Amino acid sequence: MSLYGRRKGLMDFEERLQVHDSANAPATGYGPPPAPTDAADDWLQVRKARPADYLLAISERWVEHLPNDVVPVALATQFPRIVNLVAMQWEDRRACPAYFEELLMDRRGGRRGFPAEVRRDLSRLRNYWYSRDTTLLE
């Protein structure tokens, strides 16, 4: 399934997005992508669902509560939209493991896959998700 498509049970990013300007950029150094500079970049405006390619506030709060050895630094740096999706599904007992499986397994074949440091971050997050006390979720 595409990251840009709708997933059952997820809130829409459009409802969570807030207007950011450079003066109010998040402290993490992430922010919305810059405006297109030439006509070649205008196709981005045509895309139906533009992904949030920066950490949302909900994701930043989620990352702050993770143990230091689990914080997905490479993932947040290279694929912040995936961190946003993981953060939004973190407490969902069905969606989160399914999303980890979707990210870590190549079901279509021939895909390049994530860089090694991003795969390590995803594996650490998945292992931490399974190791935590889930009685609080019931």
One digit per residue, the tens of pLDDT, for the chain of length 138 reads 444 554 444 444 444 434 333 444 444 445 555 555 555 556 556 656 667 789 999 999 999 999 999 999 999 999 999 999 999 999 999 999 999 999 998 777 777 789 999 999 999 999 999 998 665 545
Largest CA distance in the chain: 53
pLDDT of residue 55: 92
Taking the C-alpha atoms of residue 12 and residue 7, their distance in angstroms, rounded to an integer, is 9
Residue 76: which of 117, 132, 47 has the closest Cα? 117
Q: Considering the domain boundaries, does residue 15 fall inside one?
A: no
pLDDT of residue 111: 72
Q: Considering the domain boundaries, does residue 133 fall inside one?
A: yes
pLDDT of residue 125: 96
What range does the domain containing 87 cover?
Answer: 25-137
Q: Considering the domain boundaries, does residue 19 fall inside one?
A: no
- Number of domains observed in the structure of the chain: 1
Taking the C-alpha atoms of residue 137 and residue 99, their distance in angstroms, rounded to an integer, is 18
Taking the C-alpha atoms of residue 106 and residue 1, their distance in angstroms, rounded to an integer, is 12
Q: Considering the domain boundaries, does residue 32 fall inside one?
A: yes
CA distances from 82 to 28, 54, 78, 123, 126 (A): 16, 10, 9, 14, 13
3-class DSSP assignment, residue 134: helix
Place of tokens 């599904």: 89
Within 13 A of 42's CA, how many CA atoms are on the CB side? 3
Q: Considering the domain boundaries, does residue 85 fall inside one?
A: yes
Q: Considering the domain boundaries, does residue 99 fall inside one?
A: yes
3-class DSSP assignment, residue 74: helix
Q: Considering the domain boundaries, does residue 52 fall inside one?
A: yes
pLDDT of residue 11: 47
Q: Considering the domain boundaries, does residue 18 fall inside one?
A: no
- Interior/surface letters 67-88, b for 16+ CB within 10 angstroms, e for the rest: eeeebbebbbbebbbbbbbbbb
